[in-house]
């Protein structure tokens, strides 16, 4: 990544994370710093949807309106899975072995056996989220994880897979949404590698990381990046807007509005680092 000067990392965080990240990005741009013009964008889970949206050609104010205006919000499915139960399942697996690859394989086995909606029904939701269904002419990296092997996969425009399928794979929360089939391989949420995969921005001079949710790993993925790094995590108001279920469709408007307020407060600081 020696030729990458600026990178934008968009982490996972459910429906709330999509809305919050959109709000933060729109506010930063309104405050004079459009970080979506980064040389490389790395999207994981919710962040993959945001990455596809901000590289679609639609302006940030319109993308924000698609989150804040109920009349313009795309249909979402309720997860039907208690979040406390899901987090506890993940935590048990993480505590059962110190090997990250084995953790991912165990989570993948759980994901493959889970009773969920069908792939086609879930794909329709992702398709509706994306204003454009083709890969942008941008350096965009989307992270997913092979469910059976636990191996991460970094998808780009050169991967040969469709953008909608790749975003659906990156957003396939284990135990909630179905694993996604791409070329005969089943994929699950890219957040199972790390919630942001910010280490993939190594080599960039400046990195902005949006991290809607904490990582279950011992150290955040942005630790060790050599360049200037600005990490934006939800403040108290944003966390309150997320509520107890970041997958709930009704959290979109308050999460986007809280993200916008937070982004405006941070714009000057981010601008000083980014420029």
Length of the chain: 275
Comparing C-alpha atoms, which of 244, 245, 241, 264 is closest to residue 253?
Answer: 241
Active site residue 189: yes
Measure the CA–CA gap between 255 and 250, rounded to whole angstroms.
9
Three-state secondary-structure class, residue 208 = strand
Q: Which of 189, 215, 245, 255 is catalytic?
A: 189
Q: How many angstroms separate the CA atoms of 194 and 104, rounded?
A: 10
CB 173 within 8 A of CB 45: yes
3-state secondary structure of 58: coil
**What residues contact residue 219 under an 8 Å CB cut-off, 6+ apart?**
none
Question: Is residue 107 a contact partner of residue 91, using CB atoms and an 8 Å limit?
Answer: no
Told to judge if 139 belongs to the known catalytic residues of this protein, a careful annotator would answer: no
Q: How many CB atoms lie within 10 A of CB 151?
A: 14
Active site amino acids: 45, 189
């Amino acid at each position: 990544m020696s030729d990458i000067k600026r990178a934008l990392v968009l982490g996972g965080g459910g429906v709330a994370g999509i809305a919050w990240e959109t709000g933060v990005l729109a506010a930063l741009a309104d405050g004079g710093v459009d970080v979506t013009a980064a040389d490389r964008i790395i999207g994981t889970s919710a962040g993959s949807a945001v990455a596809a949206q901000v590289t679609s050609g639609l302006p940030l104010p319109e993308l924000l309106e698609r989150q804040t205006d109920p009349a313009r919000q795309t249909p979402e499915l309720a997860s039907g899975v208690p979040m406390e139960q899901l987090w506890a399942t993940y935590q048990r697996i993480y505590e059962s072995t110190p090997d990250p690859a084995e953790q991912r394989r165990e989570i993948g086995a759980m994901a493959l056996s889970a009773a969920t909606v069908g792939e086609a029904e879930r794909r329709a939701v992702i398709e509706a989220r994306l204003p454009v269904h083709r890969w942008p002419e941008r350096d965009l990296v989307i992270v997913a994880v092979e469910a059976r092997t636990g191996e991460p996969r970094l998808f780009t425009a050169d991967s040969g897979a469709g953008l909608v399928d790749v975003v659906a794979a990156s957003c396939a929360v284990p135990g909630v949404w179905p694993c996604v089939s791409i070329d005969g391989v089943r994929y699950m949420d890219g957040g199972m590698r790390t919630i942001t995969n910010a280490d993939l921005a190594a080599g960039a001079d400046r990195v902005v990381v949006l991290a809607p949710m904490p990582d279950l790993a011992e150290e955040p993925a942005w630790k060790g990046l050599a360049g200037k790094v600005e990490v934006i995590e939800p403040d108290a108001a944003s966390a309150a807007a997320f509520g107890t279920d970041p997958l709930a469709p009704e959290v979109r408007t308050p999460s986007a509005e809280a993200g916008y307020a937070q982004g405006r407060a941070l714009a000057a600081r981010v601008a000083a680092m980014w420029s």
